[in-house]
Amino acid sequence: MGLTIPQIRQNVAARIIAGMTGWSQSDLPLEMFGIEPATLMHKRFVCWIKQNDNTHGIQGRRGQGIYAEEALTIRFSWKIPPKDKLAARDSSDAELCALIELLTVQKDGWPGQMSIHYMGAVPTTNAAAEYYLTDVNFTIQHVLAFS
């Protein structure tokens, strides 16, 4: 049985909340997350899925869905303290590794014939250099549900 895009996003967010200590989800869209320092908090994240046109030429049937690939970006923030900036970067990098393992290692599997593959990460800071912002990019392969 396939999954809808909102179901995929909800499954990924639920796994992050359950598996990453102290993390919480932001209700802001990816484009707004990190623009204003007031909108950021330590260990906050946003989950964004960009739908692709890549269906590998496989046709689906009503009630079954179609095989699809989507781009998933997780952006998370990590507070930069006035002192120990290098230690904060190391902590952020350790959380990055834990996030990658959480989403890609198939300990208990994903619903809907879904698999997630790590594609890379892009660390930056916000304009005021108060937070590290890291975009973690994945590819999701799944069966997209038809109604």
Q: What is the pLDDT at residue 54? A: 55
Q: What is the pLDDT at residue 56? A: 55
- Print the SS3 string covering the chain: CCECHHHHHHHHHHHHHHHCCCCEECCCCCCCCCCCHHHCCCCEEEEEEEECCCCCCCCCECCCEEEEEEEEEEEEEEECCCCCHHHHHHHHHHHHHHHHHHHHCCCCCCCCCCEEEEEEEEEEECCCCCEEEEEEEEEEEEEECCC
Structural domain spans, the chain: 5-144
80, two tokens: 């930069």
In this structure, which topology does domain 5-144 adopt according to CATH? Answer: STM4215-like (3.30.2000)
**Phi/psi of residue 44, each to 5°?**
-100, 155
**What pTM did the predictor assign?**
0.86
- 39 pLDDT higher than 80: no
pLDDT, tens digit (0-9, with 9 covering 90-100), for 19-38: 999 999 988 888 888 776 66
pLDDT, tens digit (0-9, with 9 covering 90-100), for 69-93: 889 999 999 988 888 888 989 999 9
